[in-house]
Amino acid sequence: DAGITQSPRHKVTETGTPVTLRCHQTENHRYMYWYRQDPGHGLRLIHYSYGVKDTDKGEVSDGYSVSRSKTEDFLLTLESATSSQTSVYFCAISESERGAQETQYFGPGTRLLVL
Amino acid sequence: AQRVTQPEKLLSVFKGAPVELKCNYSYSGSPELFWYVQYSRQRLQLLLRHISRESIKGFTADLNKGETSFHLKKPFAQEEDSAMYYCALRGNTNAGKSTFGDGTTLTVKP
């Protein structure tokens, strides 16, 4: 496995509370991504980063924000969690935009339950 | 816009039977296509990519630009192939972003 960890691995929280998920990599890869995985929807991109302090929205970014102050860490924040954000969240990294190393490597996932 | 369609949510075959997981895509440029696999209780991982033209664990996939498809095939399925399979497309204009299909759960019965 590529050096990607996610914390926490499981989280139960209440509606309206803020939640921050952390993705940490030891590969020094430039690109980092946050996805959510839901039955019937597959993997959907929330936000991604193409460098320190450089982030952009994915297809389901509403209700989420991200920050990347260091190469190795990419944080996903739910400012005010809602039940619709109950999901499994995956972080991924890739080395380059194009070329032979464009494969994405995934973290183990974080299961979030919003009550 | 780019889109990936995996028409089968569930696919069940018997051990030793051929298996084909379908993937169709929509993209106006030259796409890069991938298959990812997620085994039970494991993280998502790359299975193969069209650019490499490789066979991994007996699986192959050929990019058919005329039919805009990238179906995953294996001539003789094994029980350990049971997993969730995702087809993914990376366009050549959007900075590393990939679009994933909804996934197909493959079950190989003994």
Query: SS3 of B44, please?
Result: coil
**A101 has a pLDDT exceeding 60:** no
pLDDT value, residue B96: 60
Taking an 8 Å cut-off on Cβ atoms, the answer to whether B96 and A94 are in contact is yes
Q: Which is it for the CA torsion B62, B68, B72, B75, positive or negative? A: negative
| A37-54 exposure pattern, b = at least 16 Cβ within 10 A, e = fewer | beeeebbbbbbbbbeeee
Q: A80 to chain B, minimum CA–CA distance in Å?
A: 26
Q: For residue B28, what pLDDT is reported?
A: 82
**For chain A, what is the domain count?**
1
Which regions in chain B score pLDDT beneath 70? 92-96
Query: Token match 């389901």: residue?
Result: A60
Mean pLDDT of A1-19: 92
pLDDT band, very low/low/confident/very high, at A90 (cuts 50, 70, 90): very high
Q: What is the pLDDT of residues A39-79, one digit of tens each?
A: 878 899 999 998 899 999 988 999 999 999 999 999 999 99
CATH code 1.20.810.10 for B3-109? no
Taking all residues of chain A, what is their mean pLDDT, rounded to a whole number? Answer: 90
- Closest alpha carbon within chain A to B51: A100
Say if residues A115 and A31 touch (Cβ distance below 8 Å): no
Please check the confidence at residue A115 and state whether its pLDDT lies above 60: yes
Q: Would the pLDDT of A112 be above 90?
A: yes
Task: Note whether B95 contacts A: Cβ–Cβ < 8 A.
Answer: yes
Q: Decide if pLDDT at A85 tops 80.
A: yes
Cβ-based neighbour number of residue A62 at 10 Å: 8
To the nearest whole Å, the CA of B74 is away from the closest chain A CA by: 22
- CATH code assigned at A82: 2.60.40.10
Which chain A residues are closer than 8 Å to B86 by Cβ? Answer: 42-43
Contact assignment for B100 to A109 by CB distance below 8 Å: no
Give the structural domain span for A50.
4-114
* Of B9, B32, B43, Cβ closest to residue A108: B43
Average pLDDT of the segment spanning A69-94: 96
Domain ranges of chain B: 3-109
Residue type, A54: D
Q: Is B34 on the interface with A (CB under 8 A)?
A: yes
Question: Nearest-CA residue of chain B relative to A93?
Answer: B96
Average pLDDT, chain B: 90
**What's the CA dihedral at B6, B9, B10, B16 to 10 degrees?**
10
Of B86, B90, B103, the CB nearest to A102: B90
